[in-house]
Amino acid sequence: MLNRYRVLNAILALREFTVADLAHYSGAKDNTVRTVLSRDARFVERVGTQAQGRRGGQPIQYRLCTATEDELVGMLREVDTLGVDLPPLPEGCSDVDPVVMSLKAAEDVLLRQLPAAANEERAQLLSLAAADLEMVQFLADHGEAAVHREVVDLLLRLAEVEQEAAVLTRDAGAWLHRQDASALAAPSHEAEKQLEALGRDLYKLLQVVPAVSKDDPLLLSDLFRRIGTSPFGAVIAKFCTPEPRASEEI
């Protein structure tokens, strides 16, 4: 995890680079750099190859994606507040809320990357999102950050129920990618209770998400899509209602 943030820090500092440049700046191995460039591809753009004046393959030249620069700055600032030994951030970085940016990074993983990921990649993506949440969850106790924290928490809980069912399903890859939802193993009694709780919590979340989604207009639609395409979407929707009132004692 530390090497991931060192490479991301190098991306922000160098702004235009090759794999070798990032490895030299961050101290990470080339394979680690390539893994980060693949998993955090939203932070970079490919701009061509770098001429070396000799035969053989030319290294790919990348540059920082300015559209996601603020998000990257926020992630790295939060890591810096936790005392991680990283080189200083470049001057001139915009002022962003690092807690919100870290949670938005986790949302991106859970809403957009995880549904498209191969079955063998899911565990790593869930680990990244869980680490982003763990890093800031006690700081996200009010306002916009608290709402994003609840979104991430709900999506992680959904993914855990799905993973449990995948273990019991012969062809997990098929149902995870919506090719054969009927092959899904029936959820355990505990999983059914978790799905009911997810539905209740989703209802509460939908009351506040619109107020904080102005800076991320796709958040609400992507949240609906993620729930709707889950094999458990219909069950969750069934319980997406207000909490039932407790019966009055006679």
Domain spans in the chain, listed from the N-terminal domain onward: 2-81, 98-238
- Helix H, strand E, coil C: the string for 24-52 is HHHCCCHHHHHHHHHHCHHHEEEEEECCC
Per the DSSP assignment, residues forming a β-bridge with 61 are 48
Report phi then psi at 106, rounded to 5: -65, -40
In the sheet that holds 16-17, the strands lie side by side as: 16-17, 60-64, 44-49
- pTM > 0.85: yes or no: no
Domain 2-81: which CATH class?
mainly alpha
- Residue 189: the pLDDT is 81
Across the range 40-47, mean pLDDT stands at 89
- Could you tell me how far CA 93 lies from the centroid of its own chain? 23
Question: Cβ neighbours of residue 117 under 8 Å, at least 6 residues apart?
Answer: 125
Predicted confidence (pLDDT) at residue 90 exceeds the cutoff of 50 = no
Helix 98-108 crosses helix 122-136 at what angle (to 10 degrees)? Answer: 160
Per the DSSP assignment, residues forming a β-bridge with 63 are 16, 45
- Residue 194: the pLDDT is 93
The model's pLDDT over 184-227, given as tens digits with 9 standing for 90+, comes to 666 678 888 999 999 999 999 999 888 776 667 788 889 999 99
Predicted confidence (pLDDT) at residue 23 exceeds the cutoff of 90 = no
- Residue, of 115 and 80, whose pLDDT is higher: 115
- Residue 179: the pLDDT is 42
Which of 37-41, 172-176, 227-231, 235-239 shows the lowest per-residue confidence on average (mean pLDDT)?
172-176
Cα–Cα distance measured from residue 35 to residue 97, given in angstroms and rounded to the nearest whole number: 27
- Could you tell me how far CA 71 lies from the centroid of its own chain? 12
